[in-house]
Structure 1
Amino acid sequence: MQVREAMSKQVLVVGPEHTLRQAARMMSERRVGSAVVIDPESEGVGILTERDVLYALGAGLDCDVERTGAHLTWDVVYAGPDWTVEEAAAAMARGGFRHLVVLSDGEVLGVISVRDIVRVWTSSRAPAPA
């Protein structure tokens, strides 16, 4: 199966000036573990994950003051829509990631997460009804 078939196409996009609380609230409302961060003044796409928010809170930072732009990952590993789910899983395992932004020609198409991969693998391995 290809990444395009397993990825979440509904991507939460936030800007670098959103507070961590705003981003966390939007992530919680949409029940997602990441937000793509697009900064019009920067090249590329960043990602803010639940882990980034957790680290900031654990460090005692004020989530009403801290901005997403200061806590996101710019060094993102991107997946292509034509990658296999196995290739995406291997990239996640190598890098210690739980989310990959799916890009094609510089455009964000979706995000694939460990949850997406587990969902695909468990449904494809489910026993046939008797």
Structure 2
Amino acid sequence: MIIGQILKSKPRGVMTARPEDTIQEISLRLSSRKIGAIVIIDERGKLNGIISERDIIRLIAEHGEKALKMPARDGMTRGVVSCTRECSIDEIMETMTRGRFRHLPVVEDDSIIGIVSIGDVVKHYTAEVELEVTAMRGYLATG
């Protein structure tokens, strides 16, 4: 299974923010949408960074309540690892495990076309394994 198949099952659009948006504004967006990360884009709409719930917790631990007034550019993860819709679930699982992160933007032609979470990957991986198990049981029952 490839990431493009996961994207088909998700709502269109990616929640984004600007580097000058505050951590508090970003926290409110994450909370209201019940998501774990938001992509930071530049004025051209290009991937600039990402901020996750973990990043926000780290900022608050380091800076206290001042963190909420900080701009995203001061707390975002730069050098974001991304993937394409052609990447396999196995590749993505390896990338996320090795990098110890839970959200991966999907980029095509320098544009963000989606984002996948570890939850998305596990859900689809589990469905794929269950399908294989069902097929094997059917094979063994008729065999």
- Tell me which interval the TM-score lies in, with the shorter structure as reference length: 0.7 to 0.9
- TM-score after normalising by structure 1: 0.88
Larger Rg: 2
Does 2:59 align with 1:56?
Answer: yes
Name the counterpart of 1:82: 86
2:4 counterpart letter in structure 1: R
Distance 1:25 1:124 in 2: 35
> 1:23-34 residue pairs with structure 2 within 5 A?
23-34=26-37
Maintained 8 Å contact 1:6/1:85: no
Distance 1:14 1:38 in 2: 6
Moved over 4 A (4+): 41-44
CA offset at residue 124 of structure 1?
Answer: 2.7
Name the counterpart of 1:2: 2
- TM-score after normalising by structure 2: 0.80
Name the counterpart of 1:37: 40
Q: Structure 1 regions of 5+ residues with no counterpart?
A: none
Q: How high is the sequence identity, in percent, across the aligned residues?
A: 27
Aligned to 2:5, what secondary structure does the other structure show? helix
Maintained 8 Å contact 1:36/1:47: yes
Q: Structure 2 regions of 5+ residues with no counterpart?
A: 135-143
Name the counterpart of 1:14: 17
CA offset at residue 30 of structure 1?
Answer: 0.9
- Residues 73-119 of structure 1: CA deviation (Å, up to 9, x unaligned): 11111111100011111111111111111101100011111011111
Change beyond 3 A, Cα 1:111–1:43: closer
CA offset at residue 58 of structure 1?
Answer: 1.2
Aligned to 2:77, what secondary structure does the other structure show? coil
